[in-house]
């Protein structure tokens, strides 16, 4: 049996997936139910998903109801993680510290993001920082 990766899906991957059905980000979103990987969530991450999706809804062509339905599915399928220990500052962008804290607290294998450079400090915690395409190659997709 192949390894099941434990990851965090950064907000920019979610947005990219909703903007285009052609890329690696959309492929990851389409695999959420497949159980080929686990993805971790925290309250701050879900709140950021919601805020960014609702801010970008005209461009994404989504209604509030569709966004809420998507977030419900994400919350249903994701592994919930409480944050027991703060690690600030850890990332090169302070706005990403809550993602880094989730990665460390949940002991994930990787953060999947389009902003790889912002999370380079996490390699000392054995957290890989991968683009969506790199992650798909690792899981054989």
- Domain boundaries in the chain? 5-138
Confidence (pLDDT) at 82: 83
Confidence (pLDDT) at 35: 85
Is it the case that residue 116 has pLDDT exceeding 80?
yes
pLDDT in tens, 17-38: 999 999 999 999 999 999 899 9
Q: Domain 5-138 falls in which CATH fold?
A: Rossmann fold (3.40.50)
Among 9-23, 36-50, 68-82, 111-125, where is mean pLDDT lowest?
Answer: 111-125
Whether residue 67 has a cis bond before it, omega within 30° of 0 = no
pLDDT in tens, 76-108: 999 999 876 666 566 655 577 889 889 999 999
Q: What's the whole-number average pLDDT of the chain?
A: 90
Residues 6+ apart with CB under 8 A from 134: none
**Comparing 13 with 84, which gets the higher pLDDT?**
13
Among 51-60, 72-81, 107-116, where is mean pLDDT lowest?
Answer: 51-60
């Amino acid at each position: 049996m192949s390894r099941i990766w434990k990851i965090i899906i950064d907000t920019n991957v979610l947005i990219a997936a909703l903007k285009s059905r052609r890329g690696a980000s959309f492929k990851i979103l389409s695999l959420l139910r497949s159980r080929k990987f686990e993805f971790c969530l925290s309250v701050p991450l879900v709140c950021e998903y919601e805020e960014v999706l609702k801010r970008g809804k005209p461009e994404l062509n989504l209604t509030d109801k569709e966004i809420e339905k998507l977030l419900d599915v994400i919350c249903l399928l994701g592994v919930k993680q409480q944050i027991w220990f703060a690690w600030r500052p850890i990332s090169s962008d302070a706005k990403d510290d809550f993602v880094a804290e989730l990665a460390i607290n949940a002991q994930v294998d990787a953060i999947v993001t389009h902003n790889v450079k912002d999370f380079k400090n996490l390699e000392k915690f054995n957290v890989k920082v991968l683009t969506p395409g790199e992650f798909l190659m690792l899981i054989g997709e």
